[in-house]
Amino acid sequence: MRWGWVVTLPLTVIVVIFAVMNRATVHVELWPWPWDAETPLFILVGATFLVGFLAGALAMWFSGKSGRRRFREIRQANARNAKELNSLKANVPHAAESHQGPARLGGPASGAI
């Protein structure tokens, strides 16, 4: 995000210039409802962009549901595996004490015939 200002700074300048240049009042009517309002143009455009952004964010949130579920399942499986691994590691010294080493077969110890 070190280069985020390359996009953010020009976009901020454009938004500020738009807000300063478009202070005219517009009449807004929402057809199915009996609501109408007088608002500056830059507020209307900004609110429109905000509603569009929030709708897109909500759509992306719902589309990522299966990925988040899979991530949660993998995280839980990893936790179970880590717990099992730790319990097995804890039992290794006890198993090593009870084991006397490899079984020896009969024959010369030096391996010479």
Report helix angle 65-98 to 41-63, nearest 10: 40
Whether the model clears a pTM of 0.75, i.e. scores above it, the answer is: no
Residue 110 pLDDT greater than 70, yes or no:
no
CA distance 37 to 47: 13
pLDDT tens digits, residue range 37-77?
899 988 888 899 899 999 999 999 999 999 999 999 999 99
Higher pLDDT residue, 2 or 45?
45
pLDDT of residue 100: 60
What average pLDDT does the structure give for the chain? 85
- Domain assignments of the chain as residue spans, ordered by start: 5-86
pLDDT tens digits, residue range 21-37?
988 999 999 888 888 98
Compute the Cα dihedral for 10, 13, 18, 19 and give only its sign.
Answer: positive
Write the DSSP string, the chain. -TTTHHHHHHHHHHHHHHHHH---EEEEEETTTTEEEEEEHHHHHHHHHHHHHHHHHHHHHHHTHHHHHHHHHHHHHHHHHHHHHHHHHHHHHHHHHH---SPPPSS-SS---
